[in-house]
Structure 1
Amino acid sequence: MNFILYDGIEWKKLFPITLTRPVSEIRLGLFTIKERWERYIGKNVHNIITQPFLSEKYSKKKSSFFMNVLLINSSFLPNEELIQILFSLKENETIFFEEKMIAIKKNFFLEKEDIISLSLKKCKKTYHVKRVIHIQYPWDIFINNEIVLKKDFVFFTKGKKSFSLLGKNHVICKDKIFLEEDIKANNVVLNAEYGPIYIEKGVNIMEGSVIIGPVSIGKYTTLNIGSKIYGGTTIATFCKVGGEIFNSVIFSYSNKVHDGFLGNSILGEWCNLGAGTNVSNLRNDYKKVKVWNYEKKDFFQTNLQFFGIIMGDHSKSAINTQFNTATIVGVSDSIFGYGFPSRYIPSFFLGGIQRKKKIPFNQVCETAEIMMSRRNVIFSIIEKKILEYLYQLLDI
Structure 2
Amino acid sequence: MQGPGKGVIVNSMILALFEDEFAGNLNPLAHLRPVYDLKFGIRSIREKYLRIFGDEFISLHCRAELASVMADRNPKAEINTYSADKYIFINGRSVIPEKELEKISSDEDLLYTNNGKIAAAVLTGDNLKKIRAAGGKLLSREDFPDLNEKAIKCLWLDYPWELFLENGNEIEREFEGPKMEGNLYDSAVVLNSDMISVSEGVKIKPGTVLDAEEGPIIIAPGVHIMSNSVIQGPVYIRGELCYKSGSENLRKYIYRRGM
In structure 2, how many angstroms separate the alpha carbons of the residues matched to 1:234 and 1:66? Answer: 40
Shift of 1:41: 3.3
**Equivalent position to 1:137, from 127, 145, 159:** 159
In structure 2, how many angstroms separate the alpha carbons of the residues matched to 1:8 and 1:92? Answer: 19
Shift of 1:50: 0.7
1:127 matched to 2:137: no
Residue of structure 2 equivalent to 1:61: 78
Across the aligned residues of Structure 1 and Structure 2, the Cα RMSD in angstroms comes to 2.4
How many aligned positions are there? 232
Contact persistence 2:112–2:120 (CA under 8 A) = yes
Q: Deviations over 1:175-232 (max 9, x none)?
A: 1001111001112111000000111000111112111000001111221233215897
Q: Match for 1:179: what amino acid?
A: V
Residue of structure 2 equivalent to 1:51: 63
**Equivalent position to 2:50, from 26, 38, 44:** 38
In structure 2, how many angstroms separate the alpha carbons of the residues matched to 1:82 and 1:231? Answer: 33
In structure 2, how many angstroms separate the alpha carbons of the residues matched to 1:89 and 1:96? Answer: 16
Residue of structure 1 equivalent to 2:240: 220
TM-score, normalized by length of structure 2?
0.80
1:247 matched to 2:247: no
Shift of 1:45: 6.0
Shift of 1:174: 0.6
Aligned residues with identical type, % of pairs: 23
Contact persistence 1:142–1:232 (CA under 8 A) = no
Q: How does 1:30-179 map to 2 (within 5 A)?
A: 30-43=42-55, 46-59=58-71, 60-62=77-79, 64-67=81-84, 68-86=86-104, 88-107=105-124, 108-109=128-129, 110-113=131-134, 115-118=139-142, 121-123=145-147, 125-129=148-152, 131-153=153-175, 157=176, 161-167=179-185, 168-179=187-198
Shift of 1:65: 3.0
In structure 1, how many angstroms separate the alpha carbons of the residues matched to 2:164 and 2:252? Answer: 7
Distance of aligned partners of 1:56 and 1:41 in 2 relative to their CA distance in 1, 3 Å threshold:
same
Residue of structure 2 equivalent to 1:288: none
Long gaps (5+) in structure 2: 1-12, 72-76
Long gaps (5+) in structure 1: 236-245, 250-396
Structure with larger Rg: 1
In structure 2, how many angstroms separate the alpha carbons of the residues matched to 1:38 and 1:118? Answer: 27
Is the partner of 2:240 in helix, strand or coil?
coil
Shift of 1:25: 0.9
Shift of 1:40: 3.2
TM-score, normalized by length of structure 1?
0.54
**Equivalent position to 1:202, from 191, 203, 222:** 222
Is the partner of 1:141 in helix, strand or coil?
helix
Distance of aligned partners of 1:43 and 1:82 in 2 relative to their CA distance in 1, 3 Å threshold:
farther
Higher-RCO chain (CA-CA 8 Å, sequence separation at least 6): 2
Contact persistence 1:13–1:136 (CA under 8 A) = yes
Q: How does 1:258-297 map to 2 (within 5 A)?
A: none
In structure 1, how many angstroms separate the alpha carbons of the residues matched to 2:199 and 2:184? Answer: 12
